[in-house]
């Protein structure tokens, strides 16, 4: 089993291919992270570049739908993208008209 480590190795989570996600606006690659740190972890660029070749896109979309890992095709949950979008909204300033 593979693990992703964060914060210099002090935090880790089991690698789950279905929880890899790519933010279409930035190309950054994320994975679920430790719950006590927001539940989302950014994968460092050098690893993200390597992992990106395993993404599959349905119908030419901009968001990957599948991730092929060790010859097994996993449907992506994209829960990380949902969490990031919710976090972004909650930190956006409210503008009154």
Which 3 state secondary structure label does DSSP give 56? strand
Pick from 42, 36, 25: nearest CA to 80: 42
Report whether 17 contacts 25 (CB < 8 A). no
Higher pLDDT, 72 or 2: 72
Which string of b and e fits 23-42 if b means at least 16 CB within 10 Å?
Answer: eeeeeebbbbbbeeeeebbe
CA distance 36 to 8: 16
pLDDT tens-digit profile of 9-68? 778 889 999 999 999 889 999 999 888 878 888 999 999 999 999 999 998 888 899 999
Give pLDDT, residue 86.
76
CA distance 20 to 15: 9
Return the domain boundaries, the chain: 3-90
Q: Is the pLDDT of residue 5 over 60?
A: yes
């Amino acid at each position: 089993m593979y693990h992703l480590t964060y914060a210099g190795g002090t935090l880790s989570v089991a690698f789950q291919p279905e929880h890899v996600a790519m933010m279409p606006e930035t190309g950054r690659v994320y994975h679920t992270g430790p719950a006590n740190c927001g539940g989302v972890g950014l994968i460092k660029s050098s690893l993200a570049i390597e992992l990106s070749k395993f993404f599959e896109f349905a119908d030419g979309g901009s968001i990957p739908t599948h991730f092929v890992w060790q010859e097994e095709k996993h449907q992506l949950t994209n829960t990380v993208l949902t969490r990031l979008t919710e976090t972004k909204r909650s930190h956006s300033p409210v503008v009154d008209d």
